[in-house]
Amino acid sequence: MTRAGASAKADLREPLTDRELDELEDRLVANETSLPWVEGLFSAVLTGPDLVAPSQWLPLVFREDAFEAQAEAERVLTMTMRLFNEVNATLQHDPRMLAPERDDVDSIEAFCDGYLAGANLHAEWKDDAIGTEQLEGFRIIVGEVPADEATFEGHQRSVASVVAALWAHWEPARRASVPDAPSPSPPGTVMRDAAKVGRNDPCTCGSGKKYKKCCAN
């Protein structure tokens, strides 16, 4: 591998800085989506039983005319793949940490909507009774299925546990689709240094909130 190739690979394994994350979020909003939506999409893409290529999910994230120059496209897509790898790492560390805070209603709805879009990219998911049933609450949250207020709020509170349950449910199928993947982390996964606080980790100040919603700001 050339030095340039090794550098590019290292870049994809590096978590986004706060400044890069803000830039990427602005790009996503400009494309009529959001960071929580994309994190939901990536969570489902990585959770499900099938191998989903970037060519399948990228059109859901960026429009065809999203970039004016090649260099601009390469920079933003590199940041997007780094976010993808960071979501992958968080899923393997603790899937519950990807769910938005319970009081962030808009982010919860966006996350669930993105998750449903990602689940739809898995052919096997659609025919799985347990996997489909687990998504019922997400469909209620995004308004696809009517429910009373108490049921709606109950599903909002359970998003994190559903993400974790689905990650566990599809584990055998994921292992079967990538039989040579080492455990617990397949190739390309970002593994954080234990001394570094990740965006989805509990804040070290003891507030109980995620770092990205607390001292990161």
Nearest C-alpha neighbor of 199 from the set 62, 39, 54:
39
> Per the omega criterion (within 30 degrees of 0), is the bond before 184 cis?
yes
- pLDDT surpassing 80 at residue 58: yes
Domain with 71, as residue range(s), is 13-177+192-213
Interval 148-181: pLDDT, tens: 999 999 999 999 999 999 999 999 999 887 665 4
Q: Is residue 46 part of a domain?
A: yes
Asked if 24 and 81 touch (Cβ cutoff 8 Å), the reply is no
Q: Is residue 186 part of a domain?
A: no
pLDDT band, residue 33 (cuts 50/70/90): very high
pTM of the model: 0.81
What's the distance, Cα to Cα, between the start and end of the chain in Å?
38
- As a dihedral over the C-alpha atoms of residue 27, residue 198, residue 180, residue 46, rounded to 10 degrees, the angle is -40
Q: At what angle do helices 105-119 and 159-169 cross, to 10 degrees?
A: 20
Query: What domain count does the chain have?
Result: 1
Asked if 159 and 111 touch (Cβ cutoff 8 Å), the reply is yes
pLDDT band, residue 211 (cuts 50/70/90): low
Higher pLDDT, residue 212 or 95: 95
Q: Is residue 183 part of a domain?
A: no
Distance of alpha carbon 55 from the chain centroid = 16
CATH of the domain at 197: 1.20.120
Q: What's the chain's average pLDDT?
A: 84
Q: Is residue 161 part of a domain?
A: yes
Interval 89-109: pLDDT, tens: 999 999 999 999 989 999 999
Q: Is residue 182 part of a domain?
A: no
Q: Is residue 56 part of a domain?
A: yes
Residues 113 and 110: their CA atoms lie apart, in Å, by 5
DSSP 83-137: HHHHHHHHHHH-GGGGSPPTT-HHHHHHHHHHHHHHHTT-HHHHT-HHHHHHTHH
98, amino acid identity: L
Which pLDDT value is given to residue 204? 60
Q: At what angle do helices 70-93 and 18-30 cross, to 10 degrees?
A: 110
- pLDDT surpassing 60 at residue 53: yes
Residues 32 and 93: their CA atoms lie apart, in Å, by 30
Q: Is residue 205 part of a domain?
A: yes
Q: How many CB atoms lie within 10 A of CB 57?
A: 20
Q: Is residue 204 part of a domain?
A: yes
Residue 191 parent element (H or E): none
Q: How many CB atoms lie within 10 A of CB 157?
A: 12
Q: Is the dihedral of CA 116, 43, 16, 36 positive or negative?
A: positive
Token couple for 39 = 């994190």
Q: In which residue are the tokens 């959770």 written?
A: 47
